[in-house]
Amino acid sequence: MADVVAPRIYYRVFAILLACTALTWWVSRLHLNSPLGVIVALTIALGKALLVVLFFMHVRYSSRLTWVLVGAGVLWVGHLLLLTMSDYLTRGTVPGW
């Protein structure tokens, strides 16, 4: 039988997600240097994604097999992003453009 999660947990996670969204908006208004702003925004987005996966997708209370499959999915997406960026960053400029 699945664990029953109290509704207050969902409300707290939702409030944290709303606060993180407001924080992302506030950071975007600071006009940080380009690399720093991107790093801060991606860190906040990663935290929000982690909350959604753990609580709303019930991974926190799932079996080890589910954790392994989620980890494999994250590694696969990371691998795809790494290969895409390695291709993009090593291209030269196109003459005539």
Q: Is the pLDDT of residue 95 over 70?
A: no
pLDDT in tens, 29-39: 888 877 888 88
Q: Which residues contact 59 (CB under 8 A, 6 or more apart)?
A: 53, 66, 67, 70
Q: What percent of the chain has pLDDT over 70?
A: 92
How far apart are the C-alpha atoms of 69 and 57, rounded to whole Å?
A: 13
Contact between residue 51 and residue 10 where contact means Cβ atoms under 8 Å apart: no
Confidence at residue 11, expressed as pLDDT on a 0 to 100 scale: 96
User: Which has the higher per-residue pLDDT, 95 or 61?
Assistant: 61
DSSP 18-64: HHHHHHHHHHHHH---HHHHHHHHHHHHHHHHHHIIIIIT--TTS-H
Confidence at residue 17, expressed as pLDDT on a 0 to 100 scale: 97
Task: Tell me, yes or no, if the pTM score tops 0.75.
Answer: yes
